[in-house]
Structure formats: structure tokens, C-alpha cells
Chains A and B, each alone.
Chain A
Amino acid sequence: MMLLFWLAAIWLTGFGFVRWMFPQPLRWSLHNILLFSLGIGTGAGVASCLYFLALVLAGSSFSVLPAALGAALVIALVLFLFAKRSALLDWADGPAPPWYLTALFVLAAALAVTMFLGAVAYNPHGDEGAWSIWNLRARFLFRAGVFWRDAFSSDLSWTHPDYPLLLPGLVALCWKLTGHESSDAPIAIAFLFALGTVGVLVSALGVLRGKTQALLAGTLLAGTASFVALSAALYSDVPLSFYILATLALLALQDRHPEDLRFSALAGLMAGFAAWSRNEGMIFLVAVIVARAIALVRFGDRKALLPQLLRLLFGLAAPLAIVIFFKWRVGGLGDWLSVPASTILKHLSDPARWIVTVEGLVVILFNFGRFLIPIFLALALYWYLVRFRVGTGDRAALATIGIALLLTLAAQLLADVLYLDNLGLEISTSFERILLQLWPGALLAFFLAAGPLQLVAPRPLGKVNKKGHKAARRAAETR
């Protein structure tokens, strides 16, 4: 019960913050679903950063932690109450989806929840990587008191002490606040991040493309068995996928609302939290900045480049500073710096390593997601039947997403080829995880590009007008 209370407090901190940035009245709306979902990652990121700062500045003193979180919560609530209205993010225009699409989405979500609960009931501590790395670190932070830096001892080099602390910090914070250690905390956190990822995908696509594409994308993500399994494995890949998706979705929304630079600022914060969740998040952070610059220069408004990049950098400054401090003073830079240049050159010039990588890519293309039929074939069929139609206003957003995801993937594969000794093992065990980190973002790109769907016969003119009036009235209220 106490865990639920503290998780609600953490979420409320995030929700208060994002609602301060994009305020609208509290009612059932797409706008608030998006804020609800973004609040999960924002609250988790803020709480984890505060926990780390409290550890560094005040040691493991218990009283500091609730005070720090309480202060953040009060600030968020004050911001929450005194915020002024922003643009309303509502469903994009389009025909109402047929009933069966909503039913399919609900069914996929119910199956995903059942699958998640079944997996964590069977394996409450998660897969080996979860307990031997992430939760082990959380145990050290929670149990070691003033000796919390033992978590980064050279004796534990096999646990990768350089891995950022978003997830272990959050788990340890929950244990500290509730006063006892239980596997419920990592399970609840994993569930919230999976829920938030589906929420961000559906609500962002709802704004950008309408209800039909949003529900279909949500069905596909909730129906990706590997994604649910990875979430139940209690790894930090799903939190990273949340932050990647949130960053890209906010940048896509930025292009729809070019005058409101708060989207870029919040996207920067999400990218910063991505870097605080995994080392791959740092690669994504660089990739998204490069991608945004290329996309705006090539497809967008060049005048918007500098203000948007400045807001992006402003948003990511705080979490990035924490990541840099962590790497510099606590966790270290990792073992990749210790690989001699001769080894890197040897790996680079070894054709067998490239062949193994390409083979791995081809194999995963067919096995990805544990779909019964290779999903790329199904998506190709969907493209053939529906086609892509990208509006001029979405080109920069789509280019940002595409370039950022491809750069991130390419950089990760290159790092594997250059640095890893046991490349074959790494590809067979972690290739899919890397792709799953990018999967929600890829779904956002795919359904953002897909042409409009016509699933029901056009309604009589009178009904359409009635709906149209309702949408126009809402838009007028917003203005």
C-alpha cells in the first residue's frame, strides 16, 4: 500500500510538471492522457535524479529523501494549480474508428497485462540481467548505507558500474521510502513504464494522425510479445524505449505547434532521462540532436533550428549534468576506453564480424517480436494496401524520427562490432533488446507516414457536420 502511495507521489510530481508546461482543465481528454503518460517518465526521472543527488550530497540519510521528493511534489503541485492554458492537443480530424478496432486494442492491452502478470508471478525477480545488474545495484544502494559506493567497486566490474542509475535509483528510492525491500517495486515500475510507452504512442499518434492509426499502433505495440516479456524481465530497456519515444513524439508535436517551444524543451528533458536510463540513451541523445538539425535544415523551417536546438539543450542540461557527474565521480566511463586501438582496428578490418552482424540482422528481421509471422512482412503488406502519405508539415518530424532511430541503431551496431570480443553471443542475446528499445519510435514513424484509413462507409452529411461542429467548438474554446 505504501509502495502505491509513493509511486503515486512520484507520478504526481511528473504529472504536475508536464501539466505546468501544457496545462488544460482536468477532464477525460487526449491531452490529459498524453500528460498522464509523460508524467510517468518525468516523475521517474526527476525522482531518480533527486535520489542520486541526495545520496551524493547528504549520504544515505533517510530524512533527506522524503523531504526532497516532498519538495518536488509541492513545487509540481503549485505549478499544477497556477498554470495557464496551453494549446489543446486533441484527436486529429478523421472518421471515427469502427468498434472492432477499439475492441482489438482493448483485447491486446488485456492480453499484454495478463502476459506481464503471468511472467512476473513466475519470475518476480526478473531475468538474470535484471537481478545481476540493475536490482543488485539497487540492493547495494538500499542496504549499504554510508557505504553505497561499494555498488561501484572494482570487485563488481562484471555488473558494469558505469551503467546509469535511473532504474536502480528509482527502485532503491521506493524501498527506502516504504522502509522495506520487495520485488513489488521493480515490477510496478516496469509496469508503469510499459503502460506509459503505450500511452505516449497512442496519444501522440492520436494528435498527429487520429484515432484509427493511434489504436492500431497501440494494438501492435501491446501485441508485441517480446516487448511485454522484456518489460516483465525488469530490464531498463523499456524505460529507455519510453524516453526515446517520448522525445521523438514531442519533437513531432513541436512541428505541429512551431510557435510553442515548450515541446522541444520537454523533448530535451526526455532525451536527458534516456541518457540517465542506459548508456545507449547517450547514443540516442547525440543522434536526436544531429537528426533534428538535419531534418530542420532539409525539410523544415531553418529559422526554427537555433531556437529549437537551444530549448532542446536547455531541457536536457540538468539530467545530462547528472549523468556526466555520475560517470566522472562515481560509476566511471566503462570498459570501452580500455580497449586498445589495435584491437579496435583488428575488429574493424575483420570481415567475419561484419558478416556475423549482417546475419544477425537478417535473422532478427524474421524473429523479431515473437510474432507468428515476420512483422516486417505484415507491415510491408499494410504499406502496399494503405500506402504512405506524408504531409508537408510532417516531413521534418518524420525525418527527425527516421534519422535519429537509424543513427542510434547504426552507432550501437558499430560499437558492438568494434568493441565486443564475444560478438556472436552478444548478437544472439541482445540484438532484439536493442531493436525493442527503438520499436515504439519506429511504430510512431510508420503510422505517422501511413496514409489515411477508410474503414467505415462515409456518414450522411448531417452527422459529419454535427461532429465537425463539435470539433470546431472545441477548437474555438481552446483559442
Chain B
Amino acid sequence: MARHQFAVVVLAAIALFSSFWFLLDVLGAATHSTSAFGVTAFENRFSDFPSTVRPHTVYGYLSDNPPNDPSALAEFHLTQYVLAPAIVRPSTRENLVIVNYHGKNLDMKLLAANRLRPLRNVGTGLELCQGDIR
């Protein structure tokens, strides 16, 4: 009987202590978060974007993230998630191109290099541009 009790208590204790440990991690992350890189924060950047995006619309996409920046791909995916049901292509050769920039001001050289003409600001660090589709 004692062997069985020991086996059960060990197994249950490991599960419970592990759960509790992870719970502390979760609560710690939730309470000490300063700059959460996530969907809600990114969606808020699109506050000035037209609220209804028409289906079948295609936007180009350009970012000033360095090519090896791991957040570059995530931000592209987030842009697609926010703008669905429009389709976002990682290209500047579209009629409308969303430029995602992280500096205080939009880098005009970046636009010129990609033959983009700024149309209007559509959110924090987001510019809607006219693309060169020639």
C-alpha cells in the first residue's frame, strides 16, 4: 500500500508543482509586460486605416526592417492578419503599397529607391503609397 501511495503522490506532486511553476511564469509575464509585441498592439497602429477593407484588394508591402531582423516576417504576417480579407504581397510593384517604418519620420530615400509616392499616413509608422506598377 505504501509503495502505491508513494507512486501516486510522486506523480501528482510533479504535475502540480510543474503547473504551479508555469503558472508563476504566466502571471509574471502578464504583470511585468512593458512592450508586448503582439496582435493588439500592432492592430492599434492601423487606427487610421479605412475600417472596411474590401475583399479581393491587393496591397504591396515594404518595411524598413533589416533583412535579417526576425520581427520582419512576423510584422508582414501581422499586416496580412490585420488587413484580411485584402491580400498583402511582399512587393512594391502594386498599385497601393503599405510602408511599415519604425523611425520617427518616413525615410523618403527608401520610398524613392522603391519608386513609391506617399499618399497618406494610415497609422503609427504606416504610410499608404502609390506603387510603380510599370
Q: Cβ of B26: which chain A residues have Cβ within 8 Å of it?
A: 115, 118-119, 122, 229
Of A71-79, A137-145, A236-244, the one contacting chain B is A137-145
Of B82-90, B101-109, B120-128, the one contacting chain A is B82-90
Contact pattern, A 83-114, Cβ under 8 Å of B = 1, otherwise 0: 00000000000000000010010011001101
Tell me which of A108, A140, A151, A229 contacts B12 (CB under 8 A). Answer: A108
Distance A228 CA – B80 CA, assembled complex (angstroms): 28
Q: Cβ of A224: which chain B residues have Cβ within 8 Å of it?
A: 15, 18
Counting contact residues on chain A (CB < 8 A from B), the size range is: 35 or more
Counting contact residues on chain B (CB < 8 A from A), the size range is: 35 or more
Distance A16 CA – B74 CA, assembled complex (angstroms): 42
Q: Cβ of B49: which chain A residues have Cβ within 8 Å of it?
A: none
A371 within 8 A of B: yes
Q: Cβ of A379: which chain B residues have Cβ within 8 Å of it?
A: 11
Q: Quick one: closest A residue to B89, CB to CB?
A: A155
Tell me which of B14, B38, B53 contacts A371 (CB under 8 A). Answer: B14
A378 within 8 A of B: yes
Contact pattern, A 117-135, Cβ under 8 Å of B = 1, otherwise 0: 0110111110010011001
Q: Quick one: closest A residue to B20, CB to CB?
A: A111
Interface residues of A (CB under 8 A from B): 101, 104, 107-108, 111-112, 114-115, 118-119, 121-125, 128, 131-132, 135-136, 139-140, 143-147, 150-151, 153, 155-156, 158, 212, 216, 219-220, 222-225, 228-229, 369-373, 375, 378-379, 381-382, 385-386, 453-457
Contact pattern, B 23-58, Cβ under 8 Å of A = 1, otherwise 0: 100110110010010111000000000000101101
Instruction: Among B14, B17, B89, find the residue whose CB has the most chain A CB atoms closer than 10 A.
Output: B14
Q: Quick one: closest B residue to A143, CB to CB?
A: B85
A453 touches B8 (CB 8 A): yes
SS class of chain B's interface: helix, strand, loop or mixed?
helix
Instruction: Among B19, B20, B77, B87, find the residue whose CB has the most chain A CB atoms closer than 10 A.
Output: B19
Instruction: Among B3, B21, B23, B56, find the residue whose CB has the most chain A CB atoms closer than 10 A.
Output: B23
Q: List 6 A-B contacts (CB under 8 A).
A: A122-B30, A132-B78, A147-B56, A150-B55, A371-B15, A386-B3
A369 touches B18 (CB 8 A): yes
Tell me which of B22, B30, B33, B77 contacts A225 (CB under 8 A). Answer: B22
B33 touches A122 (CB 8 A): yes
Q: Quick one: closest B residue to A137, CB to CB?
A: B84
Known: A155-B58, A371-B15. 12 other contacts (CB 8 A): A112-B19, A114-B23, A122-B33, A136-B80, A136-B81, A139-B84, A225-B19, A229-B22, A370-B21, A386-B4, A453-B7, A455-B5
Q: Cβ of B110: which chain A residues have Cβ within 8 Å of it?
A: none
B19 touches A144 (CB 8 A): no
B15 touches A220 (CB 8 A): yes
Q: Cβ of B10: which chain A residues have Cβ within 8 Å of it?
A: 378, 381-382
Distance A431 CA – B130 CA, assembled complex (angstroms): 44
B30 touches A104 (CB 8 A): no
Q: Quick one: closest A residue to B53, CB to CB?
A: A143
B85 touches A223 (CB 8 A): no
B84 touches A143 (CB 8 A): yes
B4 touches A455 (CB 8 A): yes
Decide: A375 near B19, CB < 8 A? Known: A125-B38, A155-B87.
no
Distance A112 CA – B22 CA, assembled complex (angstroms): 10
Tell me which of B7, B12, B85 contacts A144 (CB under 8 A). Answer: B85
Distance A223 CA – B21 CA, assembled complex (angstroms): 11
Which 6 A-B residue pairings sit nearest by Cβ, starting from the closest? A223-B15, A225-B22, A144-B85, A125-B39, A385-B7, A147-B55
Q: Cβ of A155: which chain B residues have Cβ within 8 Å of it?
A: 58, 87, 89
What's the least CB distance linking B74 to chain A, in Å? 6
